[in-house]
């Protein structure tokens, strides 16, 4: 056990130096012997509680028994050593650290098939608990936590760390694609559909392990405060991680490949029974993708998926679609997107999405638009209290996107009477494939404010760089839009936009700008057009 030094203790260092940093002195004599004995009891090896680790016999009871004894002892580390541990629902407890050692694989046992009541070995996952009255306000998976491989509710001081692997083999994924074998139905009792689900917890630390095939959610974290997610590799069919109604969150150094859903997804649903914001969140030094065959990010082969049956490739960072409570004080930096969707910021269920900073981002082979911001009015929530929200004070800087699909420009769209406000874009380079003809410049995009918010609902855009609609107070500086092939659409489309400043803009001319219902427009020091200031412009090309 001496080699198993992890987490905060490892950061401090061992021996007298580590103790000195804490202001403590090393123990001697009988005190040291007593402390060593206590430390030995702080580890609870699942083999000691009957686990087989052979990948054939269910280890559910042994793992849960080790967790129960650990919690009853006041806390400690439950150790999964090297081995293959087959399990149904594992019930996490407060002050328990679940440690997946090198060579340990925790395997989600096969769920019951349609019409069956039991899965592998006569077992089943814990039933999806009732969430009375809240089911209509978010998708099924967001309303339940117990039907998971690992779950906890109302816990504090819990952690799951690696470097082992969690394989969600027997979880429902809900995708009708020809690749993943057995299909389970998430709504059926006894079926598991998440790897880790935590509700109303605090002081949570998830680090250093990997997830292969995470079901509908690799991580579903709802109402979790003081949350750290660090150095995870997630290679999965659906969402990598959903951070829902959480506060004080740090996500760092993670890699997520999720071709058929979102990679890192802050949300603010109504699943807790009230509107609660996700706030004080940082996401940094992360990689998201949707282009790799399942498992080839994890094993390092990076095999690109070219089968059209695997489209669309999502894999992005997205705020929404569940958006009742809001998103506040969020910083996203030093992230890489590859072969996936672009950023999506969505407030459609009443959320206040505000004070967002996105910086130092590189993108390659984006499948739709590099930046998507949508203020809409789906208003999925209690009718009496759910009103159209706001999307405001967003800063995007130091972003480069190469070889994006040309069908869509970056889309920033509010709805009539509810504008997106106070946006600043700076140091942006957008390279896209180009080659769209002039007929696309005449496309009229319907408002569709009550629809599901996603770029594909907009279809092809009449511009190739940016499409702005219902926006107030917009600044763009040092922005270049470069199509690989000549594109007949204007680079910038502005519709119902007021107080907009463009400085040091580079884009193909004739025209670069299409202005429709625009007021207080200024363009200066730009290769995209001559310096100009307009009080009003409608139907004008520049």
How far apart (Å, rounded) are the C-alpha atoms in residues 10 and 254? 20
Residue 321, preceding peptide bond in cis (omega within 30° of 0): yes
Given this model, what pLDDT does residue 35 score? 42
User: In this structure, is residue 132 part of a structural domain?
Assistant: yes
Residues 285 and 365 in one domain: no
User: In this structure, is residue 498 part of a structural domain?
Assistant: yes
User: What is the separation, in whole angstroms, between the first and last Cα of the chain?
Assistant: 71
Residues 245 and 347 in one domain: no
List all residues 6 or more positions away from 124 whose beta carbon is below 8 Å from its beta carbon: 88, 111, 112, 117, 118, 189, 190, 191
Residues 193 and 225 in one domain: yes
Residue 365, preceding peptide bond in cis (omega within 30° of 0): no
Residues 164 and 241 in one domain: yes
Given this model, what pLDDT does residue 311 score? 67
Q: What is the mean pLDDT of each run of 10 residues along the chain (542 residues)?
A: 36 34 40 45 93 98 98 96 98 98 98 92 95 90 95 98 97 61 79 97 98 97 98 96 98 96 97 97 98 96 84 89 96 98 96 97 97 96 94 98 97 98 98 97 95 93 98 98 98 98 97 98 97 98 97
Q: Residue 105 has which token pair?
A: 């694989």
Given this model, what pLDDT does residue 16 score? 35
With the C-alpha atoms ordered 60, 66, 69, 70, is the resulting torsion angle positive or negative? negative
**Structure-derived torsion over alpha carbons of residues 289, 291, 294, 296, reported in degrees to the nearest 10:** -80
Rounded to 5 degrees, what are φ and ψ at 31? -60, -45
Given this model, what pLDDT does residue 37 score? 47
Residues 254 and 397 in one domain: no
User: In this structure, is residue 393 part of a structural domain?
Assistant: yes
How far apart (Å, rounded) are the C-alpha atoms in residues 51 and 105? 13
User: In this structure, is residue 260 part of a structural domain?
Assistant: yes
Residues 109 and 48 in one domain: yes
Given this model, what pLDDT does residue 307 score? 77
Residues 277 and 266 in one domain: yes
Number of domains in the chain: 3
Q: Which structural domain, as residue segments, surrounds residue 144?
A: 43-300
Given this model, what pLDDT does residue 310 score? 67
User: In this structure, is residue 316 part of a structural domain?
Assistant: no
User: In this structure, is residue 198 part of a structural domain?
Assistant: yes
Residues 396 and 368 in one domain: yes
Residues 414 and 459 in one domain: yes
Q: Which helix (H) or strand (E) holds 226?
A: strand 225-230
Residues 81 and 15 in one domain: no
Instruction: Quote the distance between the C-alpha of residue 501 and its chain's center.
Output: 32
What is the DSSP-derived secondary structure letter of residue 64?
Answer: H
Check if the beta carbon of residue 69 is closer than 8 Å to that of residue 78: no
Q: Residue 125 has which token pair?
A: 């996952």
* Buried/exposed 393-415: b ≥16 CB within 10 Å, e otherwise: bbbbbbbbbbebebbbbbbbbbb
With the C-alpha atoms ordered 300, 303, 308, 314, is the resulting torsion angle positive or negative? positive
List all residues 6 or more positions away from 448 whose beta carbon is below 8 Å from its beta carbon: 457, 458
How far apart (Å, rounded) are the C-alpha atoms in residues 177 and 294? 12
**Other CB atoms within 10 Å distance of the CB of residue 274:** 13
Last residue of a domain, one of 242, 267, 300: 300
DSSP string, 129-180: PP-TTTGGGS-GGGG--SSSSEEEES-EEEEEE-SSEEE-TTS------TTS
How far apart (Å, rounded) are the C-alpha atoms in residues 443 and 111? 47
Q: How far is CA 247 from CA 158, 326, 345, in A?
A: 16, 11, 18
User: In this structure, is residue 326 part of a structural domain?
Assistant: no
Rounded to 5 degrees, what are φ and ψ at 65? -65, -40
Residues 109 and 14 in one domain: no
Residues 37 and 49 in one domain: no
DSSP string, 356-410: EEEEEEEEES-SS-SEEEEE-----S-TTT----EEEEEEEEEEEEEEE-SS--E
Given this model, what pLDDT does residue 139 score? 87
**Other CB atoms within 10 Å distance of the CB of residue 61:** 14
Q: What is the pTM of this model?
A: 0.92
3-state SS, 479-542, equals EEEEEEECCCCCCEEEEEEEEEEEEEEECCCCCCEEEEEEEEEEEECECCECCEEEEEECCEEC
Check if the beta carbon of residue 378 is closer than 8 Å to that of residue 451: yes
Q: CATH number, domain at 235? A: 2.160.20.10
Check if the beta carbon of residue 91 is closer than 8 Å to that of residue 151: yes
Given this model, what pLDDT does residue 184 score? 78
User: In this structure, is residue 306 part of a structural domain?
Assistant: no
């Amino acid at each position: 056990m001496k080699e198993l030094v992890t987490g905060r203790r490892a950061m401090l260092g061992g021996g007298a130096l580590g103790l000195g940093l804490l202001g403590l002195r090393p123990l001697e004599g009988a005190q040291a012997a007593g402390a060593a004995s206590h430390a030995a009891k702080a580890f609870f090896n699942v083999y000691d509680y009957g686990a087989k680790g052979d990948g054939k016999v269910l280890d559910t009871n042994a793992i849960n028994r080790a967790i129960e004894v650990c919690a009853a002892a006041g806390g400690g580390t439950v150790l999964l050593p090297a081995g293959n541990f087959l399990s149904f629902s594992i019930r996490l407890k407060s002050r328990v650290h679940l440690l997946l050692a090198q060579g340990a694989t925790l395997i989600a046992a096969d769920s019951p098939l349609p019409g069956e009541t039991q899965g592998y070995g006569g077992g089943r996952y814990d039933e999806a608990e009732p969430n009375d009255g809240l089911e209509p306000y978010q998708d099924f998976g967001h309303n339940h936590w117990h039907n998971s491989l690992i779950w906890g509710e109302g816990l504090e001081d819990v952690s799951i760390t690696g470097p082992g692997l969690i394989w969600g083999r027997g979880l429902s994924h809900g995708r009708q694609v020809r690749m993943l074998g057995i299909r389970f139905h998430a709504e059926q009792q006894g079926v598991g559909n998440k790897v880790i689900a935590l509700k109303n917890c605090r002081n949570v630390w998830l680090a250093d392990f990997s997830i292969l095939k995470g079901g509908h959610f690799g991580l579903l974290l709802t109402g979790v405060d003081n949350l750290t997610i660090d150095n995870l590799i997630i290679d999965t069919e659906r969402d990598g991680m959903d951070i829902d109604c959480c506060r004080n969150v740090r996500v760092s150094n993670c890699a997520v490949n999720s071709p058929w859903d979102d990679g890192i997804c802050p949300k603010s649903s109504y699943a807790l029974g009230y509107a609660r914001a996700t706030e004080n969140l940082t996401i940094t030094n992360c990689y998201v993708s949707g282009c790799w065959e399942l498992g080839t990010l994890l094993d390092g082969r990076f095999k690109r998926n070219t089968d059209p049956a695997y489209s669309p490739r999502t894999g992005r960072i997205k705020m929404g679609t569940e958006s009742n409570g809001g998103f506040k004080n969020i910083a996203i930096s030093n992230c890489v997107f590859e072969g996936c969707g672009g950023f999506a910021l969505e407030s459609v269920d009443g959320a206040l999405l505000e004070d967002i900073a996105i910086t130092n981002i590189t993108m390659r082979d984006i499948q739709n638009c590099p930046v998507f911001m949508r203020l809409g009015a789906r208003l999925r929530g209690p009718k009496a209290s759910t009103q159209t929200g706001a999307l405001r004070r967003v800063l995007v800087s130091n972003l480069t996107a190469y070889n994006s699909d040309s069908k869509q420009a970056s889309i920033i769209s509010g709805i009539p009477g509810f504008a997106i406000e106070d946006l600043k874009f700076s140091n942006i380079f957008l390279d896209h494939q180009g080659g769209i003809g002039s007929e696309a410049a005449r496309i009229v995009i319907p408002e569709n404010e009550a629809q599901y918010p996603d770029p594909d609902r907009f279809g092809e855009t009449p511009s190739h760089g940016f499409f702005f609609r219902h926006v107030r107070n917009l600044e763009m500086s040092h922005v270049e839009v470069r199509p690989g092939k000549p594109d007949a659409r204007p680079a910038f489309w502005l519709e119902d936009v007021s107080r907009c400043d463009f400085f040091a803009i580079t884009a193909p001319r004739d025209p670069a700008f299409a202005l429709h219902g625009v007021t207080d427009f200024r363009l200066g020091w730009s290769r995209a057009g001559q310096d100009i200031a307009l009080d009003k412009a409608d139907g004008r090309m520049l």
